Amino acid sequence: MSIELNHTIVAATDRKASARFLADILGLEAGPEYGPFIPVEIPNGVTLDYMESGGPITPQHYAFLVSEDEFDAIFGRIEERGLAYWADPYHHRAGEINTNDGGRGVYWEDPNGHNLEILTRPYGSGG
């Protein structure tokens, strides 16, 4: 049996703006409205389905494994927008990237307070 994550729902105050934010930063497209969702499909087939929340949003963490070239492009868009970023998930090392496991990683927030991350090496992969 093959088990794969297919999609997850991401709570947002404005689903269209939030989906567009992630898609623009990652260099992807926000899909057309599908019921109450605005999907952003990640190249490995997993979809983040943005849905408006009727109440407070509990921030979640979403991490994306990217190539070195993709990291440069995405990080460039983060800097171009003047977004705050950190080297750690606790946001103690502002304005830095990390070099965990011999790769690079960085965290930033979306408009809803979700903690987003890009990394070039999976955790524990050494290096």
| 49-67 pLDDT per residue, tens | 999 998 999 999 999 999 9
pLDDT number for residue 114: 98
Average pLDDT over residues 69-82: 98
Task: Return the closest-CA partner of residue 47 out of 60, 62, 58.
Answer: 62
Task: Return the closest-CA partner of residue 71 out of 127, 121, 19, 17.
Answer: 121
pLDDT number for residue 126: 78
pLDDT at 127 over 70: no
Structural tokens at position 93: 């090392």
Helix axes 68-80, 15-26, angle to 10 degrees: 130
